[in-house]
Amino acid sequence: MGECSPVQPSGVEINLQTGEMLEPDRIVVRRASDMRGYYADADALDQLIRERGDPIHYEVFEKPVPETPGNLMYCISKLHPGLVGDEFFMTKGHYHQIRETAELYLCLRGQGLMLMKTEKGECVAEAMARGRLVYVPPSWAHRSVNTGAEPLVSFCVYPAEAGHNYGDIEDQGFPKRVLRVKGEPQLV
By CB under 5 A, name the binding residues for Zn ion: 103
Binding at 179: pick from ligand F6R, Zn ion, none (beta carbon under 5-8 Å per type)? none
List the end-to-end C-alpha distance of the chain, in Å, as a whole number. 57
Ranked by CB distance to Zn ion, the top (closest) residue is 103
Rounded to 5°, the CA angle 23-136-19 comes to 25
Binding at 77: pick from Zn ion, ligand F6R, none (beta carbon under 5-8 Å per type)? ligand F6R
Closest-CA residue to 129 (of 107, 150, 144): 107
Told to check if 156 binds ligand F6R by CB under 6 A, we report: yes
Span from 6-14, 63-71, 118-126, 155-163 in contact with ligand F6R (CB under 6 A): 155-163
Q: If you write DSSP's letter for every residue of 46-77 in order, what string do you get?
A: HHHHHHHTS-EEEEEEE----SSTT-EEEEEE
Judged by CB under 6 A, the chain residues 105 through 134 that form the site for ligand F6R are none
Binding at 109: pick from Zn ion, ligand F6R, none (beta carbon under 5-8 Å per type)? none
Residues 82, 110: contact at Cβ < 8 Å? no
| Amino acid (one-letter) located at 69 | P
Which residue number, 135 or 181, has a Cβ lying nearer to ligand F6R?
135
